[in-house]
A and B are shown apart, each in its own frame.
Chain A
Amino acid sequence: MLFQLFNKRKSEVLISVSPMGWLFIFFVIPTLLVIAMAFRSADPYGGIGDEWTLNTIKDLRNPNYPLIIWRTVWLSIVSTVICILTAIPAAYYISRIRKKYQDIILLFIIVPFWINFLIRIFAWKVFLHPEGIFKQLLVALHISAPDSLLLYRPEAVLVVIVYSYLPFALLPIYASAEKFDFHLMEAAYDLGAGRLQAFIRVFIPGIRQGLLTAIIVVFIPALGSYVIPDIVGGPSAEMIGNKIAQRTFIDRNLPHASALSAILAFAVIIPSALALTRRFFKEKNSGSLGI
């Protein structure tokens, strides 16, 4: 018995060695290298200098940065919330209809992916452009003034981020909803719960794994958005991704770009690490009554 357990452990270790090694070499080390680069001097030709320095960190006191970082964070949070709140009811209804129709709807969700991302974002620019149909329509209906802009503002970035990442939120939530045992809803009704109560108390906890995945796959890419604010955002709706690109390609200052990347990385890693440890301790203590 003990021997078997040992063998099982051993094979688990053996199996996980190669992916762990892969992750370490191609993920952990490069990330550490990026962070390390922030402490190197900049080479005037765009490379990395030889000596260690804190100059780059001092340069981060750019008065524009706090605003851009704040904009990046709120745009990412709001777009994640909108994506999740739209995807939950959609996933609920898709998983309730007949399997045949489910497949058709899923196909329609996936079809836009066959068109290049850049083209789709560019289409939004055309759509929202002062000469575009949508703007013309709003003006014709007297909803929008002719001289106001739909494009080149944070709200435009928000709309396009939601558009781009909604399928990524919908798919994992649908995958959970499809596996959800809808008898549990009946049990909730039977125990006196109304439709909304059953939805919140039984359905939402039942798909929480999918929700967690959806939050991660929407929030993290949204945080690193670069193409979307670049095309529909313009200078007044820049996100930190644009600044990183600017430092890399225009200013040719790799240490500065690395420092910004590191800030972005920490902005993601610290809250998720906190959430993970909290969950870990919560699960450890769940021997109590959970009241």
Chain B
Amino acid sequence: MDDFLIFDGISKSFGNHKVLDNVSLTVKKGEIFSLLGPSGCGKTTLLRICAGLEEPDSGRIILNGEDITDLSPNKRQVNTVFQNYALFPNLSVFDNIAFGLRISGMKENGIKDEVYKYLEMIQLTDHAGKKPDKLSGGQKQRVAIARALINRPKVLLLDEPLAALDLKLRQRMLVDLDNIHDEVGITFLYVTHDQSEAMSLSDNIAVINEGLVEQVGTPTQIYEAPRTSFVAAFIGDTNFFEGDVIEVNEPYSKLRIEDFTDVLVYNDKKIRKGDRVYLSIRPEKFTVTLQKPRLPESYNIVKGKVEEIIYLGYHTKYWVRVNEYLIETKRLHDRYMLDEKMITWGDEVWLSWHADYCYMLEQYNMEDEALLTLPDEEIMAEIESEAVEDE
């Protein structure tokens, strides 16, 4: 009986727009489960349905064996941390946190002890008498979390809780959230569009796109073994290839990729000769060298030309042109040697990667190629993030 929170075939439309299409998910007790997807994918709607603030058109929600689909929000044993915090502006920090306990009719003495326990947990004991507008973004966030947790919900719902914070604060709050989760042991349902947040926090992630669940799995499964092109492109960077199976062998089969080269791939899916196959290869799986490397047969090697380089300190990104393909690669700098000949723009280089690193996708959609970052976008993003940090 690990299945604690079950979404069973949830559908929801706003007007003609189908926001959620037959979504079924299972959340285990005590875990952090993330709903990850781009904005407008329906993840927040699913969270609001769980909170009772939105009614599903069809489907059931089961919490701890009890069907809560038709319960009004105030009767559900779930609490929400809202994206904009939604702290009551006329109440002090203390009164905000005490709100749920007062509604439940608890005695004032007991309330005081409880609230101080949670104020200590979020380290805001000194701010108990302040109004929310006197708090910083991160402090408001912590008050919102304490206000929800004090009711001891079965599930804590978090709707993009870190979206309004700046980068540094976001990273610290991420650690705080993880610590709080360890401390209270409550199941977290976490909605975010930020893949790094989801990856670092979650036990399990559901990747949602246009109202459909694309994949459910641990962060590693999602990153290393994406089921669809959307998952591969949305989480981390990747390169897509399209090829035909020309030889089936164990454990490596051979693909012919037009305009590229013949590639050895690991048979992680059942394939037959003549099948059309889509590959995802993560940038860090490639090795870029100036000299042609001598490698065992299970490696793939192809020659290309460096088109763009972005130096990022701990690693460098190279975009290498091989005919029609512009391949993104990443190279870590484990040591720097002054006399090393640096790879530079226009250099002829060799790309090599092991056949194990080619991952076959079950589902491929051309539109998802738009999610891949091109070198110029990368440069712009880098400039912007530096500008933000300067502020």
A residues adjacent to B (C-beta < 8 A): 181, 183-184, 186-194, 197, 201-202, 205-206, 208, 286-291
Contact = CB atoms under 8 A, between A and B. Distances in A.
Contacts of A191: 74, 79, 99-100, 103, 147-148, 151
A184 B129 contact: no
A290 B99 CA distance: 13
A181 B84 CA distance: 10
A184 B86 CA distance: 5
Interface string B209-252: 00000000000000000000000000000000000000000000
A12 to B, nearest CB: 22
Given A187-B80, A191-B74, A192-B74, 4 more contacts: A186-B86, A187-B82, A206-B89, A291-B108
Contact of A181 (B78, B86, B99, B104): B86
Contacts of A201: 99, 103
B128 interface: yes
Residue of A191, A202, A286 with highest tally of chain B CB at under 10 A:
A191
A192 B53 contact: no
Contact of A190 (B80, B88, B108, B128): B80
A188 B88 CA distance: 9
Nearest to A287: B129
A197 B89 contact: no
B129 A190 contact: no
B128 A183 contact: no
Nearest to B111: A291
A187 B90 contact: no
A183 to B, nearest CB: 5
B109 to A, nearest CB: 11
10 smallest CB-CB distances across A and B, nearest first, come from A187-B86, A191-B100, A189-B73, A205-B90, A192-B103, A183-B86, A190-B80, A192-B74, A290-B92, A193-B103
Interface string B96-122: 000110011000100010000000000
Given A188-B99, A206-B90, A193 B74 contact: yes
A289 B82 contact: no
Given A190-B51, A190-B80, A291 B103 contact: no
B387 to A, nearest CB: 26
B72 interface: yes
B117 to A, nearest CB: 15
B94 interface: yes
Contacts of A193: 74, 99, 103
Nearest to B150: A191
B151 A192 contact: yes
Nearest to B115: A289
Give the interface size bracket for B toward A.
20 to 34
B267 to A, nearest CB: 49
Contacts of B89: 184, 206
Nearest to B98: A291
A238 B8 CA distance: 70
B95 interface: yes
A206 B94 CA distance: 18
Interface centre among B51, B84, B108, B129 (most CB of A within 10 A): B129
A288 B88 CA distance: 17
Contact of A289 (B51, B84, B92, B99): B92
A206 B78 CA distance: 25
Contacts of A190: 51-53, 73-74, 78-80, 148
A198 B236 CA distance: 43
Nearest to A190: B80
Given A184-B86, A187-B80, A289 B128 contact: yes
A190 B155 CA distance: 12
A183 B84 contact: yes
29 contacts: A181-B84, A183-B82, A184-B88, A184-B89, A186-B82, A186-B86, A187-B80, A188-B88, A188-B99, A189-B72, A190-B52, A190-B53, A191-B74, A191-B103, A192-B103, A193-B74, A193-B99, A202-B88, A205-B91, A287-B129, A288-B129, A289-B92, A289-B95, A290-B92, A290-B94, A290-B95, A290-B129, A291-B94, A291-B95
Nearest to B75: A192
B86 A289 contact: no
A271 to B, nearest CB: 23
Contacts of A286: 92, 129
A190 to B, nearest CB: 5
B74 A194 contact: yes
